[in-house]
Amino acid sequence: MSVGEIAGLLAAAAFVALVGFLAVPILKLGRTVDEFTRVVQDIRAEHVAKTSTTVDETNELLASTNAQLQRIDAITSNAQTVTTNVAAMSSLFAATLGGPLVRTAAFTYGVRRALAARRDGDGRHGRRGSRA
């Protein structure tokens, strides 16, 4: 063997040692990257599960809100019907009893004033005066 061949063998051995020395951290780094990838996948799966749960809860809330709004719509419709009926009854009352009731009230007021004037004896018949 010549000096060049021995130098070549030493260089090859040094290169193999260097590759072996660098392979260990690279393999450990590969395992670390694999573990990190699993952690990210677990976090993503957990996030998807939480998001799915949140979406389901939101859908339930919207369904409940929709049902409540339908009930409120029915209540509002019934209140409108009651209001219409009360307005009709009020108009009917005013038309049938309003006029005679006003006349009766006016007549009663007049009678009270006449009786008060007669009782006071001032003879003014309906005019307000000083009562002594």
Distance of alpha carbon 102 from alpha carbon 28, whole angstroms: 104
Torsion angle, CA of 63/69/74/79, rounded to 10 degrees?
160
106-130 residue pLDDT tens:
889 999 999 998 888 765 555 555 5
CA distances from 76 to 30, 46, 72, 87 (A): 67, 44, 6, 16
Whole-structure pTM value: 0.41
First CA to last CA across the chain, in angstroms? 157
Residues 92-109 have a mean pLDDT of 82
- Spell out the domain ranges in the chain: 1-96
Which token pair is 80? 């409108």
28-80 residue pLDDT tens:
999 999 999 999 888 888 887 777 788 888 899 999 999 999 999 999 999 99
- Which position has the higher pLDDT, 94 or 16? 16
